[in-house]
Amino acid sequence: MKIVVIQGPNLNMLGHREQNIYGGMKLDDIHAQMENVAKQNNINIEFFQSNFEGEIIDRLQECLGDANGVIINPAAYTHTSVAIRDAISALNIPVIEVHISNIYRREEFRQKSLIAPVCSGQISGFGPFGYHLALVALMQILAEFEAIKRKSESEKK
């Protein structure tokens, strides 16, 4: 099983930028924690971060047929990118949207996600722990898919 974690613009600056909003944890530390959980659950996990919308779209498209699920923090593109939304919609695999801050307690323009309607779920406001929650949620979704698939195959026999 393979999960891809995609990080949007400025998330490479975690630990340095607006610690009162995003905390002091660096992106590498978040990824290390996720990697530990993934290893414990025999999951292959890959990480990707870009400040460029097109690169994020390219990475999403590469997930088609290659990944079982995606965790994405589109960052500022959450509120502006129809293109990222369309790329997620085309995947036909579960995608969990994550935000470190509670976007619904922030500026009005940040309170609308163009991405959420095409995702399996959204986790917002739990700080870096939100990535752990997203990983657990995605593992559960994928386990349910696998159980349904096994049941369907056994009924065919």
Which residues form the catalytic set? 22, 99
For the record, the structure tokens of 142 come out as 């994928």
Distance separating alpha carbons of residues 50 and 8, to the nearest angstrom: 5
In the chain the first and final C-alpha atoms are separated, in Å, by 25
**The dihedral of CA 33, 38, 44, 49: what is its sign?**
negative
For the record, the structure tokens of 3 come out as 């999960």
* Strand 44-49 with 95-99, pairing: unpaired
Distance separating alpha carbons of residues 125 and 133, to the nearest angstrom: 11
Contact 67, 138 (CB under 8 A): no
Distance separating alpha carbons of residues 14 and 144, to the nearest angstrom: 33
